[in-house]
A and B are shown apart, each in its own frame.
Chain A
Amino acid sequence: MDLTLEVWRQAGESAEGRFETYDAPDVSEDMSFLEMLDLVNERLIAEEREPIAFDHDCREGICGSCGVMINGKAHGPQLGTATCQLHMRQFEDGDRIVVEPWRAKAFAIVRDLVVDRSPLDRIIEAGGYISAPTGAAPDANMIPVPKESADAAMDAAACIGCAACIAACPNSAGQLFTSAKLAHLDLLPQGQPERYKRVEAMVETMEEFFGSCTNHGECESACPKSISIDNIALMNRDYLIAKLKNRKLAGQH
């Protein structure tokens, strides 16, 4: 198929950005979206023009490196699919495709389609873990975990940290990402001792970087792992408890 691309090009954080138009003829429908960009890049290099910078690594939808706005949608048209897993058969011959980086105040543009997502690491650093130093662990079967809890924790833990939720949100809110990590840890018995300390630390760090959630729900449909916004409700409730409750008693909640 023959396509036309409009791609955001920007040399660096403080440089001026603009759209550039590229013809992309002879694209196979079996290509992934990123392979299509590889092809465009090969042609640009042949013409001695600098290739488009974009982030990617696993190309299996798991590392969370990739992610661009495709015709205004984070990760493009296919639900539950990261950019690297999107294949060109989702498009039609003759399509015009607009490709942009994630747009959020907290994410500086590094170059072209690459943005700096390090604020997500700051949120994890603030408390997104269970403190279990190496060597001190009891036998893994000592604490049975109901299958339903383990499964629900896994649903939330499936987050790949791509930041599509933030890019899709009109407020650039970080709620889905943050609440997914909280739900992962808080649904497990191992996560209880630090539960309320964790929610406070992570939510307050999140607020340093990102906007507030006004329940648009765009995040859920942009998420390549279809993570549920129910996690946000759990986070909000826990945050309230953390703020109101006597910590010594919180464990009995």
Chain B
Amino acid sequence: MTTTTLDSKVPSGPIEDRWDNHKFSINLVNPANKRKFTVIVVGTGLAGASAAASLAELGYRVRVFTFHDSARRAHSIAAQGGINASKNYPNDGDSAFRLFYDTVKGGDYRSRESNVYRLAQVSADIIDQCTAQGVPFARDYGGLLANRSFGGAQVSRTFYARGQTGQQLLLGAYQAMMRQVHLGNVELTTQTELVDVVVKDGVAVGIVTRNLLTGDTESHSAHAVVLATGGYGNAFYLSTNAMKSNVTAAWRAHKKGAFFANPCYTQIHPTCIPASDEFQSKLTLMSESLRNDGRIWVPDKVGDDRPAADIPETERDYYLERRYPAFGNLVPRDVASRAAKKEVDQMKGVGPLRNGVFLDFADPIDRLGEGEIRERYGNLFEMYERITGEDPYAQPMRIYPAVHYTMGGLWVDYNLMTNLPGLYCLGEANFSDHGANRLGASALMQGLADGYFVLPYTIGDYLSESLGNEPVPTDDQVFKDAETEASDHVNRLLSIGGTRSVDWFHRELGKIVWENCGMERNAEGLEKAISEIQALKTEFDTDLRVLGSADRLNQSLDKAGRVEDFFGLAELMCRDALHREESCGGHFRVEHQTEDGEALRDDENFSYVAAWDWNGGEKPTLHKEPLEFEYVKLAQRSYK
């Protein structure tokens, strides 16, 4: 494993001035010249749609691609809880510095200070922007915006639109983008999947796509390519992500030379509805806000099958309140998740499959009345009942952790450019701002910060250098080769002619990854997982069954390509987890814990971003970006 050091292009100077200084010192493209540049944006989630709209407003020619049938259906639509911003409207002492500090700390000191500070700085502008677009944020009776505290934060800085914040923010960005479509500044292509990033002489010059309805393979060239293609939580098969979320765009860019950073940092959300059987296709998140009032417990006795109401107080273990008296049920996500796993592993799980813990509202209903609880959580209770058939007013909910978010992603510098010149990456698809653990309500903030307020500035610096250059024509050999490779690949998948469905492989892969690279990891399990993944991949290559043809909608075929990329990613995740001999945030190595069973970091040796180079398919090479902390004091997190 050879290593080189990566340059993050972070500006110098006092942290609060860095972004302003940077904006001043980078090159601009003059307004009349902007229309001479074509930028491809892949993905129309919060990050992609906001970027496309903003770039088009500036005058760039923007071409947007998404595999969804409508840009509005991107996975961002599903975000529930809210979006953070350091507006300090409640006058409770919030500031850009505090949001910055909380984010770096919450990320267990594995993120880049300058990026996080910038994120906190522009967060306030996001709320202004979205309000102007008509996002119906919750308001108080005086007509001003309401805030709540989220995920254990000590200030109320979360803005929300009922339980549908992601939907409303995405509709705002989608509508802004559709306005540009109307004006002719954005050319939007739906039902079209990126299958390759085209690189010539080390520079990203375009993409190859596959039309999901006709199977046509096409090349598109541009002066720059922006990937905003979301996270890879579905490598675990079961997750809270939408079914079509996948890693293909990022992974294929990785295979063309883009470094993949911190793949092992994955976030497990503690409050999801447990699986009901093996045909469970995805897991539903129950908003974290439930932990504000609900109390989490399991029966004291192993295998106690009595209904919750028959188990007396003295025979219940409110394990979070017991272990973490100061934070109780509001400990951070990673801590709450591991604690639940511990109880279930000790066979104290509840429900028909013994795969959950109770989240109980009996006390708050006594204290506040059912009406108040209905007011606070009515829609969530209803959703729970619809899915499980159980009434959470009458009996406790059952919850269990599930994969939710991926902090890892393509490595980007301060300008959000990958190590391949001309290739940018935004939103959940990049690795940038959340370190080893993301705070609640910060993903929406990051996606919109990247798209509305960072990329539109930083891309000009790169583009200005190529003024007067036409994009590489799509009949260039690099495009032709990529097209051939793409259609060969599809034909290969169709011609295997085996016996197992793509879902079967996905499920099996997910089991391996969840078992060995999920909430807890250890060296032995990770090594075992790597060889099991390789063996399963061999089976995939010889025993996959994809029926039908490539020239019309073929959902199994679409999925086969995506699952194949999950194999490569899953292996890299395990390698990354194996190499990181410490525990931090969402990465918990059993070998590295404190006496109390908490994550034990090794700042001396692992205070760096691990960026992996594909290396032509040989063993991946590790590059390091050292992390320096000038403003935040490193400490062991404690929630006792």
B-side contacts of A111, CB under 8 Å: 552-553
Q: How far is the CA of A131 from the CA of B53 in the complex (A)?
A: 11
State the 10 A-B residue pairs at the shortest beta-carbon distance, nearest first.
A144-B143, A129-B175, A137-B132, A132-B132, A140-B131, A137-B128, A30-B276, A154-B136, A134-B54, A153-B136
| Stretch among B71-79, B399-407, B577-585, B595-603 lining the A interface | B71-79
Distance of B133 from chain A, by nearest CB (Å): 5
Asked whether any CB of chain A lies closer than 8 Å to the CB of B225, the reply is no
Q: Are B73 and A65 in contact (CB under 8 A)?
A: yes
Distance of B80 from chain A, by nearest CB (Å): 9
Q: Are B161 and A39 in contact (CB under 8 A)?
A: no
Q: List 20 A-B contacts (CB under 8 A).
A: A31-B279, A42-B503, A48-B545, A51-B547, A65-B73, A110-B213, A118-B69, A118-B70, A125-B179, A127-B182, A129-B179, A133-B57, A137-B129, A140-B132, A147-B140, A150-B137, A157-B167, A188-B134, A190-B131, A191-B134
Asked whether any CB of chain A lies closer than 8 Å to the CB of B144, the reply is yes
Q: Are B129 and A134 in contact (CB under 8 A)?
A: yes
Q: Are B501 and A62 in contact (CB under 8 A)?
A: no
Q: Are A144 and B144 in contact (CB under 8 A)?
A: yes
Q: Are B138 and A59 in contact (CB under 8 A)?
A: no
B-side contacts of A65, CB under 8 Å: 68-69, 73
Given known contacts A50-B547, A64-B73, A188-B136, is B164 in contact with A158 (CB within 8 Å)?
yes
Pick the residue among B128, B133, B179, B503 that contacts A38 (CB under 8 A).
Answer: B503
Q: How far is the CA of A139 from the CA of B386 in the complex (A)?
A: 40
Asked whether any CB of chain B lies closer than 8 Å to the CB of A184, the reply is yes
Q: Are B127 and A140 in contact (CB under 8 A)?
A: yes
Q: Are A144 and B142 in contact (CB under 8 A)?
A: yes
The B305-327 residues at the A interface (CB cut-off 8 A) are none
Q: Are B145 and A58 in contact (CB under 8 A)?
A: no
Q: Closest B-chain residue to A11, C-beta based?
A: B552
With most chain A CB atoms within 10 A of its CB, the pick from B57, B129, B133, B182 is: B133
Given known contacts A49-B547, A59-B242, is B182 in contact with A126 (CB within 8 Å)?
yes
Q: Are B53 and A134 in contact (CB under 8 A)?
A: yes
Distance of B8 from chain A, by nearest CB (Å): 25
Q: How far is the CA of A151 from the CA of B456 in the complex (A)?
A: 33
The B152-180 residues at the A interface (CB cut-off 8 A) are 161-162, 164, 167-168, 171, 174-176, 178-179
Q: Are A89 and B389 in contact (CB under 8 A)?
A: yes
Q: Name A's interface SS.
A: loop
Q: Closest A-chain residue to B243, C-beta based?
A: A57
B-side contacts of A134, CB under 8 Å: 50, 53-54, 57, 129, 176, 452-453, 456
Pick the residue among B69, B134, B168 that contacts A130 (CB under 8 A).
Answer: B134
Asked whether any CB of chain B lies closer than 8 Å to the CB of A231, the reply is no
A-side contacts of B548, CB under 8 Å: 50
Q: Are B70 and A51 in contact (CB under 8 A)?
A: no
Q: Closest B-chain residue to A121, C-beta based?
A: B70
B-side contacts of A116, CB under 8 Å: 69
Distance of A107 from chain B, by nearest CB (Å): 11
B-side contacts of A172, CB under 8 Å: none
Distance of A14 from chain B, by nearest CB (Å): 11
Write out, one digit per residue, whether chain B residues 316-354 have a CB within 8 A of any chain A CB (1) or not (0).
000000000000000000000000000000000000000
Write out, one digit per residue, whether chain B residues 51-83 have a CB within 8 A of any chain A CB (1) or not (0).
001100100000000001111110101100000
Q: Are B162 and A154 in contact (CB under 8 A)?
A: yes
Asked whether any CB of chain A lies closer than 8 Å to the CB of B555, the reply is yes
Q: How far is the CA of A31 from the CA of B281 in the complex (A)?
A: 9
